[in-house]
Structure formats: C-alpha cells, structure tokens
Amino acid sequence: MTPGDLHDPFFCAVTSTGFTRARVSDLAAGRCAALRVRDLLPRRMVEETLKALEARAFDAYGRRRVNPPVMRFGVGVSDYCKDGVLTDAYWPAVHRHRTDWESLGLPFDPFEECRAALGADWPGGIRVGRRSGREMGAGVAREPNQGFRVHFDDALREFFCGDLLDSTLVTQFAFNMYLSVPESGGETIIWRHRWSPADEAFRLPGSYGYDESVVGDAEFIELSPEVGEAVLINPNFFHAVRPSRGARRIALGFAVGLSVTGELLTWG
C-alpha cells in the first residue's frame, strides 16, 4: 500500500434521512466531513422558489475577489469584510436583501424552512445569528456555474478581530440546498486538508481562492448534489465546485455556527 491509498474512515460523506442530533453531532465532532439529506423540503417549495428566482436578475459577488464570477440573489458577509471586520455597509445590504426576497411573493420563507428542517432535532435549537443585537442576513441563493475555486470558510480567520456573532462559535458548517443542478459538472469536492500558514503561498492574489496544488495529494470526496438535496459540510476542509454545463446550478446557502450556548446560529 502506498501512502496515497491510505483512507481516513472519518473523512466521509454520510447520507441520512434527516439532520438528526446524532448526525449533526458526528459532523461537529469530526466523525464525518459532510452530511447529505435528500428532499429536505417538499418538492413544491423547491420548485416554487426556483421559479421565482428564475424570473429575477442575480448580482455577482465582488468581481475582483470572486473570479470566475459567482452570481447571487441576496447578500453574503464575504463581500463586507475589511481587515478582519464586518463593514457597516453590510446592514443596508441585508435590508435590501430582505426587501428583494419578500418581493418574490413566496407564501413561505425558504431560508426559514431550511433552518427548521436543519434544526428540527437539535437540542439547542436554531436561529439566525445576531451581531450587536442585529439579525444577520438569512442566506443567499448562489449560482457558481463556472465553479468555486479551492477555498475554505472559517469566520474565525476571516473576521479575525473578534467574534462575528454575539456569541462564540465552537465550530462552523456550510449549508446548501440545491434548487437546480446542471446535467454535467458542478460537483462539490472536499479535500482532507485544512488551512495551515504555509498554504498562503498558494493564495491567488486578491482572490478568495487558492491554486489547486495547495491540496497536494490529499484524499477527497466528490459530491454531485441532486435537486432538493441539502448538504452540510465542514467548510474548514478546503473545497471547490467544478464548472458546469447545462442547467443553472443554484443553491440556497448559509453558514451555520455551533455556539458555546449549544444553539445553531446561521448567517449569510
């Protein structure tokens, strides 16, 4: 056996019928790297949300930092981080985001539905996180048709000047629920590699991403999500989305922190 054949049994994606307390605990404890739940919401809600979004123009994430471009409907904190602090411009953007989502006229709030399904069995409950008492954005519809570069997500390092939310997080997950998936490509890849200072040599200048050689020959998981499927990953592992062809790749996404209070706190 060569070192490349060695497999970490805890580095796996687990498919489950729901986000049970046991499965979410496994992800938090490092006993798996991703949880997959098919048909998280009723199909009718998935279709109605997609139909409403298809009628609207998406914005791009900051094009200097996010290239190739990723389209979005809603706001994400990553566009509002300067020198490790959340900028004040985030709050009016969250307000616009609420107005935009309300203007879709959906008879339900898709982010609230996702939170309810994700937190249904979690003893500490789930809610949108707050910063200085103000409620954060609920999440964002993201469309990375040309992929996401290799990156990791960790609010602790991105917002290094203190807690992003009003309480300290002990771990962080990334939630995605897929509304539309392409015929080919669009796979989510997760590598068994976490950031270390030496990785900064691979950072693409001005970008959120890294050159793919940063992950070396680390073992990886490849996921091809289905419409209606929700995936919760440990985003401290480097991950990427492959470019796609065919239908739009649209997912509702938000970050989820496990707070020292035991609550799941989300933000977009």
Q: Is 235 in the site for ligand AKG (CB under 6 A)?
A: yes
CB of 225 to ligand AKG, least distance (A): 6
* Residue closer to Fe ion, measured from CB, 48 or 111: 111
Q: Is 153 in the site for Fe ion (CB under 5 A)?
A: yes
Q: Is 61 in the site for ligand AKG (CB under 6 A)?
A: no
Q: Is 113 in the site for ligand AKG (CB under 6 A)?
A: no
Q: How many CA atoms lie within 13 A of 180 on its CB side?
A: 20
Residue type, 197: P
Q: Is 172 in the site for ligand AKG (CB under 6 A)?
A: no
Taking the CB of residue 123, how many other CB atoms lie within 10 A of it?
A: 9
Cα(55)–Cα(41) distance, rounded to whole angstroms?
A: 21
Q: Is 232 in the site for ligand AKG (CB under 6 A)?
A: no
CB of 251 to ligand AKG, least distance (A): 5
Q: Is 79 in the site for ligand AKG (CB under 6 A)?
A: no
Q: How many CA atoms lie within 13 A of 155 on its CB side?
A: 28
253 binds, among Fe ion, ligand AKG, none (CB under 5 to 8 A by kind): ligand AKG
Closest CA to 235 of 178, 191, 187: 191
Q: Is 79 in the site for Fe ion (CB under 5 A)?
A: no
**Are the C-beta atoms of residues 176 and 190 closer than 8 Å to each other?**
no
**Are the C-beta atoms of residues 151 and 239 closer than 8 Å to each other?**
yes
Q: Is 251 in the site for ligand AKG (CB under 6 A)?
A: yes
Q: Which residues pair with 86 in a beta bridge?
A: 81
251 binds, among ligand AKG, Fe ion, none (CB under 5 to 8 A by kind): ligand AKG
CB of 175 to ligand AKG, least distance (A): 7
CB of 265 to ligand AKG, least distance (A): 16
Taking the CB of residue 78, how many other CB atoms lie within 10 A of it?
A: 18
- Segment interacting with ligand AKG, rule: CB under 6 A, options 23-31, 193-201, 206-214, 234-242: 234-242
CB of 70 to ligand AKG, least distance (A): 9
77 binds, among ligand AKG, Fe ion, none (CB under 5 to 8 A by kind): none
3 state DSSP class of 39: coil
**Are the C-beta atoms of residues 152 and 194 closer than 8 Å to each other?**
yes
DSSP letter string over 80-148?
Answer: GEETTEE-TTHHHHHHHHHHHHHTT--SS-HHHHHHHHHHTT-TT-EEE-EETTEEPP--EEEE-TT-E
48 binds, among Fe ion, ligand AKG, none (CB under 5 to 8 A by kind): none
**Cα-to-chain-centroid distance, residue 75:** 13
Q: Is 229 in the site for Fe ion (CB under 5 A)?
A: no
Q: Is 242 in the site for ligand AKG (CB under 6 A)?
A: no
Write out the residues near Fe ion by the rule CB under 5 A: 153, 235
Q: Could you list the residues that contact ligand AKG (CB under 6 A)? A: 144, 148, 153, 174, 176, 188, 235, 239, 241, 251, 253
